[in-house]
Amino acid sequence: CKDGKGRVGNRVQPVNKGVYNNLVQKNAPAAHAGLRFGDQIQMINDVSVAGCSMSDVH
């Protein structure tokens, strides 16, 4: 789910071999989906993001 500008309302940061939420905007699709600050994201569209760079994640 994305907003009218194609965004989901969160920012991520790769840390070691994981990807973590470092911002979830209030009332954004990410917040409505239950994402919270500090959550580890393990997969995006059924693809593992472990060890991915920021450009890979975006």
Does a structural domain hold residue 35?
yes
Residue 17, domain extent: 10-45
User: pLDDT (tens digit, 9 = 90+) per residue, 3-55?
Assistant: 566 667 777 777 777 788 888 999 888 898 898 999 988 888 898 888 777 77
Residue-level pLDDT at 21: 87
Does a structural domain hold residue 38?
yes
Q: What is the DSSP string of 9-50?
A: SEEEEEETTEEEEEEE-TTSHHHHTT--TTPEE-EETTEE-T
Structure token digits, residue 58:
């975006």
pLDDT band at 58 (very low <50, low <70, confident <90, very high): low
| Structural domain total, the chain | 1
Does a structural domain hold residue 58?
no
Instruction: Tell me which residue has tokens 């990410």.
Output: 30
Residue-level pLDDT at 4: 65
Residue-level pLDDT at 50: 82
For the entire predicted model, the pTM comes to 0.65
